[in-house]
Structure formats: structure tokens, C-alpha cells
């Protein structure tokens, strides 16, 4: 009876290592950091917009919209280029 229990336990452990372990590894090393980065980026964008609104109220001066678009475009291009690792093909 103990042999049957040990055999079933070994089989269960083997199944867990084969099917569950890759998912846990993917979650730990990919999905969790990605989620944290996305949430923190949303917080940064929210605070930047809030600061921009409060700055406009304090100074009463509105910046040129074209300038704002250029800066936003530049920042998006930088974030995009830094987000992906450079891939070399030999």
C-alpha cells in the first residue's frame, strides 16, 4: 500500500514539474514584472498630467500644443526603443 502511495506521489510530482512549473516560472519572471511596470507607468502618467494641470493653473500660461506633441512623440520613441532588447543575428 505504501508503494502505491509513493508511486502516485512521484507521478503527481512529475506532472507538476512538467506542466505547472513552466507556468509558475513564466509568471514569476515575466508577467509579474510586466504588470508592475505597467501599473507604475500609469501612475507616472497620471501624476505628470496632474502636475501639468496644476502648473497651468498656477502660471496661467498655456504651452504650445505642437511643442507638447513633439516632446510626447520623442518620449514614446525613447520608451519604445529602450523597452525592447537589441537582437543580433549572426
- Tens of pLDDT, residues 40-66: 999 999 998 888 777 766 665 555 666
- Kindly report the pTM of this predicted structure: 0.48
Residue 88 pLDDT class (50, 70, 90 cuts): low
Which pLDDT does position 89 carry in this prediction? 54
86 within some domain: no
- Longest C-alpha distance within the chain, in Å? 83
- C-alpha dist (Å) from residue 56 to 7, 46, 52, 80: 71, 16, 6, 28
72 within some domain: yes
20 within some domain: yes
Percent of the chain exceeding pLDDT 90 equals 11
Which pLDDT does position 63 carry in this prediction? 58
How many domains does the structure of the chain reveal? 1
61 within some domain: yes
Phi first, then psi, for residue 36 (nearest 5°) are -65, -45
Amino acid at each position: 500500500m505504501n508503494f502505491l502511495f509513493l508511486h502516485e506521489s512521484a507521478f503527481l510530482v512529475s506532472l507538476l514539474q512538467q506542466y505547472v512549473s513552466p507556468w509558475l516560472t513564466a509568471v514569476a519572471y515575466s508577467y509579474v514584472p510586466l504588470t508592475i511596470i505597467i501599473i507604475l507607468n500609469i501612475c507616472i502618467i497620471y501624476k505628470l498630467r496632474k502636475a501639468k494641470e496644476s502648473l497651468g493653473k498656477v502660471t496661467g500660461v498655456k504651452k504650445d500644443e505642437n511643442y507638447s506633441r513633439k516632446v510626447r512623440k520623442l518620449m514614446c520613441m525613447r520608451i519604445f526603443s529602450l523597452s525592447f532588447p537589441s537582437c543580433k543575428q549572426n
